[in-house]
Amino acid sequence: MSRQRSKLHLFFFFFLCYGFGVEALAQQASNTFTRNLSYESPDSTFSFRVNPVVQNQVNVTHEKGAEQLSFRNRRTRFYMSGYVFDPRFVYKVQLRFEKNDQNLYDAAFKFSPNDRFTLWLGQETLPAARSQLVSLKYLQFVDRSIVHAIFDLQKDVGLWVFYDQPIGQSLWTLAGALSNGEGIFRPTHSKGLSYTLRLNTRPLGAFAGNGDTRGADIQFEPSAKVPIGIAYNFNDNATASRGQRGVAFPAGFTRDIHTVYVDGIFKLQGWSVMAEWISRSSPDKVLESSTPVFRGTGFSAQSGYMIRPTVDLALRYAVTSPRESVTQQYPKQQDITLGLSKYFAGYAFKLQGDLSYYWTSFSSSAKDQERIQARVQISINF
């Protein structure tokens, strides 16, 4: 235990020294900088913008009496976007370079004939979980929660439709997607399609700077904002245990998968609260013992406060609760995470650290496995 404490103490000593060292350098320079490389043709018929994102981590993990110190490149991405012929016709490409993999992550065309209606065609994030709609650049913690790992649909290939409707002070957004249902990491063998529908309302008006899809309240909302969303996804004849993601079913089996999402976020003068509840079900139990769908619920809630104009202190709790029929393959998981973030140039340049305690249980009476993890991450988004 003393060895564990010494490593964790060393870890946080490094975090504090590194943070104050970078802050000292930042104070000598401007706290803003050009956030992208862009070009627009002289005749305004073409534009091109590149946004590199790099996130590097230091990790200390204590599990089963053993400790491990590791260094990793968590994310390296290149976002490319712009318009062709008309500013209403936009393209978007995202390339991912991680774990020696090179993946085409986004590839879509967007058309907005007016301020209320938008159409996407291609490969994009499905409009389901709010936690996934918060881009990696705007996360309040080093990474998303364990609930995200089980329930998120992430990306797919298909057609997206968005419609905004103001009603008095509030703004309502209806989003829908018709997609293959196979995700982006497996060959397409669709026997059915995926149907996603999301309704989001902002009853107290819009945020400053798209705050409903960003973690901390670094904009310091002058008045309360409380968007609420609900979403549903039906993956017809899914070929993998999590629909767009997960383990492929054997022998050409397919299953129908239903997932419901309910979420909300609150921000006011540096305070931020975000919560989501998710439920997944599947009527077909033929593969329950070999390759089951996670049938059950997940819940996560996080809250933070800007203790200084550029420093956010946050706490998160997350739990995944499988139904009894699949607990042998999917234990109940819980985690508590304490996070601290320093924003040197808004989201463009930030240093984050968090400390997490995870525990899993195959029954309600015992903790079968425990893990402590501490992480420090520096993130640059030009």
> Would you place residue 30 in the very low, low, confident or very high pLDDT band (cuts 50, 70, 90)?
very low
CB distance 102 to 78 below 8 Å: no
270: three-class secondary structure by DSSP: coil
In a domain? residue 137: yes
Identify the pLDDT of residue 41.
85
Per-residue confidence band for 369, with pLDDT thresholds at 50, 70 and 90: confident
For the stretch 133-188, pLDDT in tens is: 998 889 999 999 999 989 989 899 999 999 999 988 888 999 999 999 988 877 76
pTM: 0.88
Comparison of pLDDT for 251 and 373, the residue scoring more:
373
- pLDDT-derived band at 9, boundaries 50, 70, 90: low
Confidence of residue 11 (pLDDT cuts 50, 70, 90): low
Residue 38 lies in a domain: no
**Is residue 297 in some structural domain?**
yes
Domain ranges, residue 126: 2-32+55-75+109-381
Residue 83 lies in a domain: no
Tens of pLDDT, residue by residue over 205-252, are 888 777 888 989 999 999 999 999 999 999 999 988 888 888 888 877
Residue 102 falls within a domain, yes or no? no
**pLDDT at residue 1, as a whole number:** 44
Q: Is the pLDDT of residue 28 over 50?
A: no
Which residue type, as a one-letter code, is found at position 84? V
* H-state helical runs in the chain: 2-28, 130-133, 146-151
CATH code of residue 121? 2.40.160.10
User: What residue type is assigned to position 360 of the chain?
Assistant: T
Domain count, the chain: 1
Residue 39 lies in a domain: no
- The pLDDT tens digits for 274-305 are 999 999 999 877 677 678 888 999 999 999 99
User: Which string of b and e fits 247-281 if b means at least 16 CB within 10 Å?
Assistant: eebeeeebbbbbbbbebbbbbbebbbbbbbebbbe
In a domain, 22, yes or no: yes
In a domain, 353, yes or no: yes
